[in-house]
Each structure stands twice: as C-alpha cells, then as structure tokens.
Structure 1
C-alpha cells in the first residue's frame, strides 16, 4: 500500500512538472525522495550489501578451479648422471677389454702348465697362443660394439625429453572447519546489509525533515507577504485620511510625516518578504530536485490557518532502546559488527580443516616413462592448518577487538540517553507551540478589536493618528506572531516525529 501511495505521489509530481505549478507537502516529499542523490547513493549501497551477503553465502560451498600451463626449459630432466651415461655408452668396450684380458691370462697360464708337464713344447705353446689371439680379436670387437650399442640404447631410454612441458588440473576445495570464520563472515554480511537499510532510513528522515522545514518556511513567508501587503494598505489608507485632515486643517504636517515613515517602512517590509519568498522557493526547488527557476505554488499558501491536528504520535511510546531511531539501529549494528569481528580474529588462530580433490594431467606422461602424450591421475585429501606459536599475537588482537566492542556499547548507551532527553524536549516544545498558538489567536482577536476601536475613534476625531498607527503595528505583530506560532507548531511536530523515529 505504501509503494502504491508513493507511485501516486510521483505521478502527481510528474504532472506538476508538465505545467501544473501547485505542489503539496506530500508531492514535495516524493520529489525529494526520488531525486535526492544521497538517498540514491544509500540505495545503491544497499544493493552492494545485498550482493555481498549473497557472495558470503558461497563460502559454505565447494570451490572448483581449472589450471592449465605450458613451460619451456633449456635442459631436460636427467634420470642418469653424466658418469652413469658414460659407463653405459662404453659398456661393451669396457666389458670386452676385461673379458679379453682375463681370457688371455687364463690361456697363458694353461699353456705354461702344459709346457711344464711336457705335454707340449714352448714353440707349440707360442703357436697356439698366437692362433687364439688371432681368432678372439674379431669376437672381442663384435662383443664390444654390441655392448656399446646396448648401453647407448639404455641411455636413450632414460632420456625424458622434458624441455616442453604441458600441464593441467581441476582442483576442488571444500571447507570443513574454518574456526567459525565463515559463519562470522556471513553474520557480518547480514549486518552490513542491515546497516545499509538503516542508513537509507536515516537519510530519508533527514530529507523529509529538511523538506518540511523548507515547505513551511515558504508558506510562512507567503502568509507574511500577504500580511505585509495588508498592512501597507492599512497604512496607506491612514495616510490618505491624514492628508485630507491636513488639507482641512485638523492635522499637522508632523502627523503626515509620521504616517509617511510608516508607509515607507511597510514598502520596505514588502521588498524584504518578496525576496525572502523567492529565495525560500528556490531552496525548496533545490531540495525537490527541480530547476530553481521553476514557478511553483504551494497548496497551503492560500489557506486561512495552518493548525494541524496530528494524532499519530499522541499515544506512541518508543521502546526503552529507541530502536525506531535509525541512528540507534546503526550504532547497534556497529556493536554487532565489532562482536563478529572478534570471532573472525579468534578463528584465525583455530584449526582449519578442508577437503581437497582433483584431477591432474601432464605431457610428458610422468606415469609412463615420460611418454609424449597426455595422461592424468585423480587425487583426494584433507588439509589441516593449526597455528602453534605466535608470541600471543592472537590474544592481543582479541583483547583489542573486545575493547572496541565495549567502546561501541558505551557510545550506543550514551546516544540512547541523549535521545530520551531529545524526545522529552520535543514533547514539551509541541505543548508550548500549541499554547503559543492559542495565545496568538487570542492576541489576534484583541488586536483586531483594538484596531477597529482606534479606527472608529480616529474617524470621530477623539483618537490621534499615532494611536491608530500603534494599533496597526500591534495588529501586524499579532498576525505575524500567529503565523510564526502556526509554523512553529508544524515544525515542532515534525521534530517530535523525527525524535521518535517515525517520520516518513
């Protein structure tokens, strides 16, 4: 229902902008609430806080990341040392030399033994040794080449070819226990969103308060403008009468000069009040967000009286904490925010447990002899992080945060006491304004009767012109005081609504 009413008010404001110049108090409020930049900033801040809260909720959910990369290195990864590769490359030569030496030594020892036994002669032994050496040379060379070839193949088999490395991974992380940090972060996001709403309410009330003051200031000046013209007409009428009496010889020039001074003063008052009305309307247009050069007329400019019967807050009693005031709610938000901040600090020094998992691929394939193709592996695990020693850093931070929370509570209590006093003062001011308005109405009646009697006596010639001017001045002051009392009642009622936190 409230949104529907607000839409109707905005529609009325649009019509006014297209030619209609009459603005009511409600239409001025609607224009100001729509065009005020600070309120619009608060609304955007509320949207920011809402999305921040939604983002904080995602901290409970698992996070999945995808990684991919390529790396070029100037050297391969070697599974064999240079010494090992050298031994394998010369494996046949080394083995053939050793076998050939052992074989020649064995044959020589055998020939020597046979010579000693007399089975063969020395010449025969030498001939047999020469024949064996000639027959074994090709076999040794072949065995050496074959061994070297096998060694080179082994070295090549251990070559990784890892200058060009491709890799990728899918990583999943699921928090299990973060020391309460995630819960506190979500609570902070909720408080920030609530603070944004309270800030909007605070600026809304401030805007409405400024609009009401500007509106009733214009109305007051318009009534005083009419009063100034009426007073000028009265003084001019007296001036005409005095001039006639001067011509008839029943009044002196001194009486005429006194009346002329009053006429000039009345004209000057009109000039001042005209300028005041223009400036006040420009201020009202600025607060409403419309061009200051627009010609506007307020609905209450031509009203006969400004008395207001506002029963909205007569029986309204705020709670002991004054939670209806956005300022109090903001300070309570600050206390709650500080408490959650303490929990976040405490969570930093508690164990953090998280579940991890994923899938990783590489090229070369490290799981199959560095084969030049992509291959991967699944993994799952649990990580635990626990601070062990930090020189009491956490204790000091927690104490500092708790002290800040105590400060916020004290500020909240102090503001609540001041608001209680403000509400009481505002109630007194409303009562005083009503009494003042009643007295002003009575004074207007007395001043009008006094002016009537003075005018009658002046026409009968029993009262001098100075008494008439005094009666006119009293009449003007009584009406001016009535206008001030009427506007003061309106403003004091708005002050009370603002103090109670129900201005909207």
Structure 2
C-alpha cells in the first residue's frame, strides 16, 4: 500500500513538472497589435532612427549657441635663446640743467674749460664736464622665459545671416530626422502586417490542403474497392493516386511556407526563430473590412518620403543663404584681457601684469576673384534648372 502511494506521489510530481515545462514553453495568443508592439520594441533600424532624432535635437541646441557670446582662454610659455638689450654698451649722459625757457642747457661750471679759461667746443658744441652713467644692464629685458595669458569674449552682431541660416537648417534637419523615423516606423509596421497576414493566409490554406488530402485519401480507398470489384479500371486508380500525390505536394509546400513565415514573424518581433506562436486570427474566421477609397493626393501628402524631399529642398535653400553670406560684411564685439611676464606697463617687471581691451571688429570682403558670388550663382542655376 505504501509503495502504491509513493508511486502516485512520484507520478503527480512528474505531471506537475511536465505541466510547468509546457506552460513555460508555450506562448500566448498574439494579436496584430501585439506583433506590432514587439516589432517596434526590437527593431534595430528604428532604434538607430531614434538616436538620429536625439542627435538632430542636440545639433539644434548647439546651433542656437552661435547667437551667444563665446569666451576663450589661451596660455603660452616660450623659452627664448637671448635676452633683449636696448643698449650695446654702457651709455654716458651729459649732466646739465633746465633753463627758464624749458630747454636743456649747461651752466658755465658744468662745462669743460680749456687752458685759456674758455669752455671747450667740439664741432660747434660745448663739451660737458660731468656725465651720468646709464649702464647696459639697466636697459636689458630678460625675455628668455616668456609667459602670456589671454581671456577673450566675442559676441557676434551681424554675420551676414549665416547664424540664422544655420539655426534654420538645424531645425529642418530635426524635422527631417523625425520624418525618416516615421518612415522607418511605417516600414516596420508594413513588414509586420505582411508577415502576420501571410501566416493567417497559409493557416487557412493548410486547412484547405489537409481537407483536400483527406478527401482524396478516402476517394482513393473507394476507387481501389471499385477496382477490386471490377467496377473501375487500373487507370482510374492511378489517376486518383496522381491527384493525391499532387495534393500531398501542395500540403508540403504550404507546411514549409507556414514554417518560414512563422520564422520571419519571429525575427521581426525579436522572438526566437523556433518559437511557435498562435495568432488571434488563426482561431476564428474574420471578415475583411472594406477600405474606404481615398484620393492619391491625400495619400501622397501623408507619405514621409514626400515630406523628406520637401525638407531637403528647404535645407539647400538655406545653404544658398550661407553661401551668399560669405560676400557680406561681418561685425563682432570683442573684449579681451591680456597678461604677460615680463611686463612693460610700469617699467620692466618680472611679475604678471596685464590690461583689458574692448573693441568692435568689422570684416568685409573686397576682392576675391568673385568666389562667393560665383558659388551662389552656380547654386541658384542648379536649383532653377
């Protein structure tokens, strides 16, 4: 009795394990919307299109920064071979005085006197008696170690419409990326619907082929009995068997096509290719809804390909403005702070010292062999042609 109970317990455990395994391997019934959702979630091209949209949004934000001022910093260190000497030798400066008229003059006691007691003159000039020494080292600047630090601010004021055109192109590029993403989404939905309804069609064809083979099998059996009784001929039996073989070939083709279609749908939905899923339309007959008629103009207006072509045309129009802006003047406000060592702002010093500056820069092309205009004219000619 105990052995019987143990056997029943083991059998129950095996049944539970088998049910659990079958339940884990079985797939639920998928509708068309479920397949579309899985295909959208697992399509790699659609994910790439999403990243392209994010990149275009980042480029649009980056293009807007061209309106804002830019701040740059620069640091330079140079090791020079020689120092700067303003004097080749020590200088001797005559000692005199400033007269009442503000001119530099010599007093009699500041002039060299000859043996005759009169001031000595050389080339018509009096010779001073005393000199002030200006040593060479005092006029030497040690620039062997040179350091420069600059911080600058640039605010564009007018760039010939270039910045505005860049921002417009960035906005159009964002719309173009979204249009391409919409086109890729429609392609994913289209391929999913084709694979889905292909399976539904093959399932119904399989039912018809199985019914046809079943009918022919019964018919072959009846014809063989008729041949046995002498009612039918051998040719009748062979003719019916040929039809049965043709039906079995059609049945095999449908089975193979159904397997391949299921693998294709699994690939589109991101499922393992050996997974067998049941579709909602396989289990019940569905009526085909009539699609309302619609004009081709409205169909074309909703196509993302047409919108992409229009956006591409607008982008090239903005590029024409960028080419034309090369022939227009540009105006920018600049502000800088420059510091260096050695510095010369208050004598010669080895400390960092600097100054700030503010200015407005204007740049206007005068003659470049017609390069900007020629480019603009060629692009206009290509567009109008």
TM class, shorter-length: 0.7 to 0.9
Bigger CA radius of gyration: 1
RMSD: 2.8
Q: Is residue 289 from structure 1 mapped to residue 236 from structure 2 by the alignment?
A: no
Q: Is residue 330 from structure 1 mapped to residue 337 from structure 2 by the alignment?
A: no
Distance 1:321 1:350, change over 3 A: farther
Structure-2 residue corresponding to 1:47: 54
Moved more, 319-328 or 28-37: 319-328
User: In 2, distance between residues paired with 1:17 and 1:387?
Assistant: 75
Q: Is residue 106 from structure 1 mapped to residue 116 from structure 2 by the alignment?
A: yes
Structure-1 residue corresponding to 2:283: 302
**Do 2:53 and 2:177's aligned partners in 1 also have CA atoms closer than 8 Å?**
yes
The correspondence of residues 403-482 of structure 1 with structure 2, limited to 5 A, is 403-406=381-384
Structure-1 residue corresponding to 2:249: 268
Q: Is residue 344 from structure 1 mapped to residue 344 from structure 2 by the alignment?
A: no
For residue 29 of structure 1, report the CA deviation from its aligned partner: 1.3
Q: Which has the higher helix share?
A: 1
One of 31, 37, 51 as aligned partner of 2:38: 31
Q: Which has the higher strand share?
A: 2
One of 66, 73, 77 as aligned partner of 1:66: 73
For residue 106 of structure 1, report the CA deviation from its aligned partner: 3.2
Structure-2 residue corresponding to 1:428: none
TM-score, with length taken from structure 2: 0.81
User: In 1, distance between residues paired with 2:296 and 2:169?
Assistant: 27
User: In 2, distance between residues paired with 1:185 and 1:222?
Assistant: 55
The correspondence of residues 150-189 of structure 1 with structure 2, limited to 5 A, is 150-152=133-135, 155-189=136-170
The total of aligned residue pairs comes to: 342
User: In 1, distance between residues paired with 2:242 and 2:210?
Assistant: 16
For residue 315 of structure 1, report the CA deviation from its aligned partner: 6.5
One of 227, 236, 242 as aligned partner of 2:208: 227
User: In 2, distance between residues paired with 1:321 and 1:346?
Assistant: 37
User: In 2, distance between residues paired with 1:404 and 1:59?
Assistant: 29
User: In 2, distance between residues paired with 1:175 and 1:341?
Assistant: 20
The correspondence of residues 131-146 of structure 1 with structure 2, limited to 5 A, is none
Distance 1:108 1:170, change over 3 A: closer
Deviations 1:167-223 (A, max 9, x none): 212100000000000000000000000000000011111121111111111111111
User: In 2, distance between residues paired with 1:227 and 1:242?
Assistant: 22
TM-score, with length taken from structure 1: 0.63
Q: Secondary structure at the match of 2:348?
A: coil
Deviations 1:379-424 (A, max 9, x none): 10000000001222222211222234346xxxxxxxxxxxxxxxxx
Question: 5+ residue gaps in structure 2?
Answer: 1-22, 96-108, 120-128
Structure-1 residue corresponding to 2:343: 365
One of 192, 195, 218 as aligned partner of 2:199: 218
Question: 5+ residue gaps in structure 1?
Answer: 1-15, 93-98, 110-142, 408-504
For residue 371 of structure 1, report the CA deviation from its aligned partner: 0.8
Q: Secondary structure at the match of 1:356?
A: strand
